[in-house]
Amino acid sequence: MKLEIKNLRKRVKIGCTTEERAFPQAVSFDIALILDARRSVETDDISDTLDYMKVVEKIDILCESGEWKLFEKLCYDVGTEILAISEKATEVTVRFTKFIVSESNGVTFELTVFPDGTYQ
């Protein structure tokens, strides 16, 4: 089963320089979760799946409290935090877009994280 959150817009302190991280910048996340939530189809009970609002709340907290130099580290941190919400998530792909290059629709990085901390 797959759960996706598309174009979740946030503001994050991210950038290689101190000046770039001085103010939160507009970014977006696309989150794709692979779930073992088969029981939810039969029970219609949220406790048998992963509540997507908990994912959004976790990203909110992370974006408000941290700062990062690299996309790679931010995506890994977001992925591991999401996986910690529920054992029902068997992998999460975080696609991050930063709207920094005016001649483009953004610069994007994507990372898949697994419950054991490995990634690809």
Domain ranges of the chain: 2-113
Per-residue pLDDT at 104: 87
The pLDDT mean for the chain works out to 96
Q: What is the mean pLDDT of residues 6-27?
A: 96
Per-residue pLDDT band for 102 (boundaries 50, 70, 90) equals confident
Torsion angle, alpha carbons of 10, 97, 109, 33, to 10: 50
Q: What is the CATH architecture of 2-113?
A: 2-Layer Sandwich (3.30)
Q: What confidence tier does 101 reach under pLDDT thresholds 50, 70, 90?
A: confident
What pLDDT is recorded for position 8? 98
Q: Can you tell me the distance from the alpha carbon of 105 to that of 120, in angstroms, rounded to the nearest whole number?
A: 24
Q: What is the pTM of this model?
A: 0.94
SS3 (DSSP) at 50: coil
> Is it the case that residue 100 has pLDDT exceeding 90?
no
Model confidence pLDDT, tens digit, residues 61-75 = 999 999 999 999 999
In sequence order, which residues have a C-beta less than 8 Å from that of residue 34 and are 6 or more positions away? 1, 2, 89, 90, 91, 92
